[in-house]
Chain A
Amino acid sequence: MLVGDSGVGKTCLLVRFKDGAFLAGSFISTVGIDFRVSIWHCLMVSCLCPFQIWDTAGQERFRSVTHAYYRDAHALLLLYDVTNRASFDNIQAWLTEIHEYAQQDVVLMLLGNKVDSTQDRVVKREDGEKLAKEYGVPFMETSAKSGLNVDLAFTAIAKELKHRSMKLPNEPKFKLHDYVKKEVRGSGCCRS
């Protein structure tokens, strides 16, 4: 499930991931829970069970409508916009909300989106890292526009969920944090 303030790019991130496209200014604001449910068979994870991805509205008042669905979510992608300080400042409130309503063992990942807008950036990468560390949440910066780390974010979550559901005793435990650290790309390269 994608969550985060209004306008941070949840729908764009989902569409970039699903269709590999970034269509600037072609999306309307998401209202309520958009059951733009994407069924996704992750190729990196050999698992018959497909993933459903849910898009939500970011405006605060919709949370009382959407948080009924948190409890059924296995994973939450929490987004902020690196060009919007308020969206970053609200992350703590989001985390409080998630702790209150989501399952205890929900897989959580913090994403700083829109890193392609280097000129407008107001939230430093280190700030995101620091906050993520504080809450013990894996973190990466993404760009729905350039595609930076978009697939990685979803794949990492898929891997983690699969490992949890399989509980294979012989396989070494999958470590989401380590995987993300190893695979993540900085915004310095592959800018569009």
Chain B
Amino acid sequence: RGLWKEARLPRVDPYGFERPKDFDYVSYEEFFSRYLVILTRRAIKWSKLLKGNNRIQKSLKVKRYIRKGIPNEHRALIWMIVSGAQANMEQNPGYYNKLLEGEKSDTLVEAIKTDMNRTFPDNVQFRKTANPCLQQTLYNVLVAYGHHNKTVGYCQGMNFIAGYLILITKNEEESFWLLDALIGRILPDYYSPAMMGLKTDQEVLGELVRKKVPAVADLMDRHGVMWTLIVSRWFICLFIDILPVETVLRIWDCIFYEGSKIIFRVALALIKQHQAFILEATNLPDICDKFKQITRGTFVTECHTFMQKIFTEPGSLSMATVNKLRETCRAKLVAQGSTNNI
């Protein structure tokens, strides 16, 4: 069954990830042939937009283009420009290398080393036997970043994010500056030791779900499920290893341009789309399982439709709303923290 199709779609995807054993080649091939048409159309539009001078400025048109997906050949460049990473890199020549040559903290290096073999063991480019082996590149980026941003240092999850950046840019220094754009500017403080940004955003999502999908919020309350259990990994890993690679990259396109509220859009779209399915859950393990299942299947694989859905399904979500919620949720957490002595 579908043998000829398996022959056409390689066992390893274009980024080096081995497709899982139960990968549905037939339906993926069917999706991809449709997506290829879109990709081609977008590629033509983008090359017209860039007109060979590789320069863009933020505009409604660019925002629309980005929501429809950045072609892979331009992805690294556009991420670099819209995130401000390019400007930072140009303003600080030699800075990255200086970090690498500087003195290293033993505990930081140790923590990073522990995760080297545990970052994408399913990606052929990260294998010890690969040539070039991206483990060394990953190590360099993380060690440099840990010394650049000493408050954050190294937090698990950053290994996956840096790994993706390396796969897309194929450039160590650019990966470093993009990581800095994400952690230092675009995302709230998810990765610092107190993880306040993460704890806050988990609460913010809870509030948004209560407003937009109240039945699911009730279900969570009834079974005493804290959102951290479901979404800490979604947020920390920016959906890596949760959603399919292509979908994650499309989400990141928008995060680099529009910021961290996109994360809520993705989470809300997933939850709203599968509301009835989630509500079938009758106990905590069931709820956990349902939330795992909604991150798989055609809804998330068909990345182009999925990206349209994240902007329609959850309804309006302004940065002002998100910021206001963040403020109140953070204040609540701080108040709790001072009484609980956390």
Contact = CB atoms under 8 A, between A and B. Distances in A.
Interface in A9-46: 25-35, 37, 39
A29 B115 contact: yes
A25 B159 contact: no
Interface in B212-254: 226, 228-230, 232-233, 236-237, 241
B232 A32 contact: yes
B334 to A, nearest CB: 13
Given A29-B119, A35-B229, 11 more contacts: A28-B118, A30-B156, A33-B232, A35-B292, A39-B285, A59-B155, A61-B191, A62-B195, A64-B194, A65-B232, A69-B226
A61 B121 contact: no
Nearest to A50: B285
A64 B230 contact: no
Given A39-B285, A62-B156, A25 B117 contact: yes
B228 A31 contact: no
23 contacts: A6-B115, A7-B115, A25-B117, A25-B121, A26-B122, A28-B121, A31-B157, A31-B232, A31-B233, A32-B232, A32-B233, A33-B232, A34-B233, A35-B288, A35-B291, A35-B292, A37-B285, A39-B285, A59-B111, A61-B192, A64-B199, A68-B226, A69-B229
Contacts of A7: 114-115, 118
B184 interface: no
A92 interface: no
A33 B229 contact: yes
Contacts of A60: 193
Given A6-B156, A33-B232, A39-B285, A61 B195 contact: yes
Interface string B54-79: 00000000000000000000000000
Contacts, number: 80
Interface of B: 110-111, 114-115, 117-122, 155-157, 159-160, 191-195, 198-199, 226, 228-230, 232-233, 236-237, 241, 284-285, 288-289, 291-292, 342
Nearest to B237: A31
A114 B198 CA distance: 33
Contacts of B232: 31-33, 65
A6 B155 contact: no
A153 interface: no
A52 B229 CA distance: 14
A57 interface: yes
B223 to A, nearest CB: 11
Nearest to B224: A72
B224 to A, nearest CB: 8
Nearest to A100: B341
Closest 3 pairs between A and B when the two form their complex, measured CB to CB: A32-B232, A35-B288, A7-B114
Contacts of B111: 6, 59
B121 A26 contact: yes
Contacts of B237: 31
B229 A28 contact: no
Interface string A81-116: 000001000000000000000000000000000000
Contact of A65 (B115, B118, B121, B198): B198
A57 B157 CA distance: 11
Contacts of B342: 64
B337 to A, nearest CB: 9
A52 B156 contact: no
A64 B229 CA distance: 13
Contacts of A27: 118, 121
B216 to A, nearest CB: 16
A32 B228 contact: yes
B236 A37 contact: no
Nearest to B153: A61
B298 to A, nearest CB: 23
A98 B157 CA distance: 24
B287 to A, nearest CB: 9
B220 to A, nearest CB: 13
Nearest to B228: A65
